[in-house]
């Protein structure tokens, strides 16, 4: 602790002139000795204090550093959690988008295959459409045998329609 490290020569002269005016020339040497003794005592007390409290102060500084590191690590946990939740939400959105696209692609593929059938064989496409329209939804296994019978009858009726049309074209 150096008190005079920040005081320049001009500032020191101003301080001495003020002390001379305030205290007077008779008491100035006595006040200087008292000031010097007081400064020595203050310096000694400061050195003793830093010597005694130095290790404890270092320990407190180390503890403070450790606490700051712990606080920083705890602060980063919510940020990491938020980042992982955001990534998971993005992945869920992407998966749902892909599922929607897959469904659309399946529908487009079916439409394309239906269109291909219609273009290649218009009569067969009509027969297939009629078969699909006539099929009731499958509910139970006992009804499946009756559905198969109905389907067979439907196919027979469609084939008879085709036969009638074939005979008309021959005429």
DSSP per position, 50-73: HHHHHHHHHHHHHHHHHHHHHHHH
Number of other residues whose CB lies within 10 A of the CB of residue 118: 15
Confidence (pLDDT) at 20? 84
Residue-wise pLDDT tens digits, 150-163: 555 555 554 554 55
**Number of structural domains the chain divides into:** 1
Residue 38 C-alpha from the chain's centroid: 63
User: Is 21 a member of any domain?
Assistant: yes
Q: Is the pTM for the entire model greater than 0.75?
A: no
Length of the chain equals 171
User: Is 26 a member of any domain?
Assistant: yes
Residue-wise pLDDT tens digits, 39-75: 899 999 989 988 888 888 888 889 999 989 888 887 7
User: Is 31 a member of any domain?
Assistant: yes
Q: Which residue range forms the structural domain that includes residue 46?
A: 3-82
User: Is 15 a member of any domain?
Assistant: yes
d(CA 109, CA 103): 10
User: Is 75 a member of any domain?
Assistant: yes
Looking at the chain, the whole-number percentage of residues with pLDDT higher than 70 is 75
User: Is 132 a member of any domain?
Assistant: no
User: Is 113 a member of any domain?
Assistant: no
User: Is 147 a member of any domain?
Assistant: no
d(CA 109, CA 93): 24
């Amino acid at each position: 602790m150096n008190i005079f490290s920040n005081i320049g020569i001009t500032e020191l002269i101003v301080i001495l002139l003020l002390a001379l005016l305030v205290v007077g020339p008779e008491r100035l040497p006595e006040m200087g000795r008292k000031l010097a003794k007081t400064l020595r005592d203050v310096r000694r007390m400061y050195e003793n204090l830093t010597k005694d409290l130095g290790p404890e102060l270092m320990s407190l500084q180390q503890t403070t550093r450790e606490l700051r590191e712990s606080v920083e690590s705890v602060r980063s946990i919510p940020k990491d959690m938020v980042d992982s939740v955001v990534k998971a939400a993005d992945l869920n959105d992407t998966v749902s988008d892909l599922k929607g696209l897959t469904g659309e692609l399946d529908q487009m593929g079916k439409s394309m295959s239906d269109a291909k059938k219609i273009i290649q064989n218009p009569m067969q496409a009509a027969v297939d459409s009629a078969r699909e329209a006539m099929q009731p939804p499958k509910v139970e296994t006992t009804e499946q045998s009756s559905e198969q019978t109905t389907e067979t009858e439907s196919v027979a009726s469609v084939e008879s329609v085709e036969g009638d049309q074939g005979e008309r074209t021959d005429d």
